């Protein structure tokens, strides 16, 4: 491996440490404890794992964690009533509705019913618009974590060629906005993109957010480029024993690491940064709600 490993796990621990310091100051100086409410509807196993780990880390940094686990058959009106209650609760500074929601619930309606000031996932249409127009907003956690790692590694990103593979509302599009905001020349690639290997080969920065195990091989990568692998894919791992699985990204790690200048691993890259940014966003929301200085 020739690439520098961008250690998201270690970086996330540093971010959480800063969040914990800020939370302690809010408590000591202002008697305020930031609170994060997480709403889970149904029993999707991956979502249950995410919600558990979000709750645990929220408490670890000294914040209040409020978890709402609702039945998969919950009616939309009941979910909206809960969100309304949380919107009006001064102890709750951040609200996250874990996605995906069961099919009978209108995801856009639900997300847009969250008070934008408490929308720590940054998915509310107001926050999307604010981000797109370069105004102060709540920034989606996964792309924010990617941007922080890129800035930390490169300093300025100005003028760099960036290719984002994937155009979802939760990763690809906001990632592209953030890179544009940092003056990259940005291309968004997707399933209809022609000559994807050639498009990727131009990039100084590749962000892969596709959901296809090891889709990007090393020979698509420009030598020295930085590869941020957002993908989390579980694949069979017969080498570990019968029925065993392992996590891989959207990039083929070993071949990409031979060519890239820097690369994030999966696991231990983007994933931990996502939760750290969620906690940071909650502190930011709490500071804004109370007219206090925001963390940097
Ligand atoms: P979506 O399924 O919403 O979007 C996937 C995108 O990839 C789409 O825009 C799709 O294009 C594009 N795509 C699919 N196939 C190809 C292809 N063959 N070539 C080029 N583009 C393709 O996924 P998400 O954005 O929600 O998530 C992407 C990955 O990131 C997943 O593995 C997910 O688990 C992971 N993830 C990780 C997080 C973390 O914390 N680390 C957080 C969120 C997601 P089109 O629009 O044309 O269909």
Q: What is the pLDDT of residues 106-165, one digit of tens each?
A: 999 999 999 999 999 999 999 999 999 999 999 999 999 999 999 999 999 999 999 999
Residue 27 designated active-site: no
DSSP class of 216: B
**Among candidate residues 130, 136, 70, the one with its CA nearest the CA of residue 102:** 70
| Nearest ligand 1 atom, CA 275 | 40
The label of the residue with tokens 């929220």 reads: 58
Q: Is residue 283 part of a domain?
A: no
Residue 261 in domain: yes
- Whether the CB of 142 sits within 6 Å of ligand 1: yes
User: How far apart are alpha carbons 48 and 44 in whole angstroms?
Assistant: 6
Q: What is the CATH number of the domain that holds 74?
A: 3.40.50.10860
Domain with 192, as residue range(s), is 141-272
Q: How many Cα atoms sit within 13 Å of 141 on the Cβ side?
A: 23
Determine how β-strand 233-236 pairs with β-strand 245-248: antiparallel
Would you call 54 a catalytic residue per the annotation? yes
CA trace torsion 226, 253, 211, 203 (10° rounding) = 30
Q: Which of 7, 44, 48, 54 is catalytic?
A: 54
Residue 166 labeled ligand binder: yes
According to DSSP, the β-strands at 262-263 and 226-229 are parallel
Both 161 and 238 in one domain: the answer is yes
Residue 41 banded pLDDT, cuts 50, 70, 90:
very high
Which residues fall within 8 angstroms of residue 160, CB to CB, at 6 or more apart?
Answer: 154, 184, 185, 204, 205
Out of 144, 173, 176, 191, give the residue to mutate to test ligand 1, the one with the largest number of ligand atoms within 8 Å of its CB: 191
Which of 69, 71, 106, 121 is catalytic? The answer is 121
Q: Is 167 annotated as a binding residue?
A: yes
Region 100-105: mean pLDDT is: 97
Is 5 inside a domain boundary?
no
Same domain, residue pair 124 and 145? no
Is the predicted pLDDT of residue 65 greater than 90, yes or no? yes
**Residue ID of nearest Cα to ligand 1 atom 18:** 191
What pLDDT score was predicted for residue 60? 98
- Is 10 inside a domain boundary? no
Q: Same structural domain for residues 36 and 100?
A: yes
- Name the pLDDT band for 40 (thresholds 50, 70, 90): very high
232 touches ligand 1 (CB under 6 Å): yes
168 is in an annotated binding site: yes
Q: How far is the CA of 81 from the centre of ligand 1 (A)?
A: 31
pLDDT score, position 1: 78
Q: What's the rounded mean pLDDT across residues 162-179?
A: 98
Please write the tens of the pLDDT for every residue from 198-248: 999 999 999 999 999 999 999 999 999 999 999 999 999 999 999 999 999
Residue 100's pLDDT band, with cuts at 50, 70 and 90, is very high
Q: How far apart, in whole angstroms, are the C-alpha atoms of residue 45 and residue 253?
A: 26
Q: Residue 91 C-alpha to ligand 1 middle, in angstroms?
A: 34
Task: State the Cα–Cα distance between residues 115 and 117, nearest whole angstrom.
Answer: 5
Rg of the chain in Å (alpha carbons) = 19
Q: From ligand 1's centre to the CA of 199, what distance in Å? A: 17
**3 lies in some domain:** no
- The arithmetic mean of pLDDT across residues 88-106, rounded, is 98
In a domain, 69, yes or no: yes
Burial 112-130 (b: 16+ CB within 10 A, else e): ebbbbbbbbbbbbebbbeb
Answer yes or no: 135 catalytic: no
- Is residue 2 situated within a structural domain? no
Residues 174 and 252 in one domain: yes
**Is 110 found in the same domain as 196?**
no
Give 251 Cα–ligand 1 centroid separation in angstroms.
Answer: 12
Q: Do 41 and 116 belong together in one domain?
A: yes
- Residues 169 and 259 occupy one common structural domain: yes
Contact 277, 144 (CB under 8 A): yes
Whether ipTM exceeds 0.85: yes
For a ligand 1 pocket test, name from 12, 15, 172 the mutation site with the most ligand atoms within 8 angstroms of its C-beta.
172
Which residue's C-alpha comes closest to atom 8 of ligand 1?
A: 166
């Amino acid at each position: 491996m020739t690439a520098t490993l961008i250690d998201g796990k270690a970086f996330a621990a540093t971010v959480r440490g800063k969040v914990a310091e800020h939370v302690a100051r809010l408590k000591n100086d202002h008697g305020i404890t930031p609170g994060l409410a997480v709403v889970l509807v149904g029993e999707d196993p991956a979502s249950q794992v995410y919600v558990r780990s979000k709750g645990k880390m929220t408490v670890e940094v000294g914040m209040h964690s409020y978890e709402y686990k609702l039945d998969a058959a919950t009616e939309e009106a009941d979910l909206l009533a809960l969100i309304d209650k949380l919107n009006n609760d001064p102890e709750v500074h951040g609200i996250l509705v874990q996605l995906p929601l069961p099919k009978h619930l209108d995801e856009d309606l639900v997300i847009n019913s969250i008070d934008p000031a408490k929308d720590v996932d940054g998915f509310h249409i107001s926050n999307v618009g604010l981000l797109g127009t370069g105004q102060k907003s709540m920034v989606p956690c996964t792309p924010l974590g990617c941007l922080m790692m890129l800035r930390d590694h490169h300093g300025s990103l100005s003028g760099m060629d960036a290719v984002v593979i994937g155009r979802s509302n939760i990763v690809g599009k906001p990632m592209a906005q953030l890179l544009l905001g940092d003056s990259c020349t940005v291309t968004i690639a997707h399933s209809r993109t022609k000559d994807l290997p050639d498009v990727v080969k131009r990039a100084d920065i590749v962000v892969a957010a596709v959901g296809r195990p090891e889709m990007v091989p090393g020979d698509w990568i420009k030598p020295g480029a930085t590869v941020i692998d957002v993908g989390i894919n579980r694949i069979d791992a017969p080498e570990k024993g019968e029925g065993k699985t392992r996590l891989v990204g959207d990039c083929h790690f070993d071949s990409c690491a031979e060519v890239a200048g820097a690369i994030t691993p999966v696991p231990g890259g983007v994933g931990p940064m996502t939760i750290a940014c969620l906690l940071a966003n909650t502190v930011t929301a709490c500071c804004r709600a109370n007219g206090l200085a925001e963390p940097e």
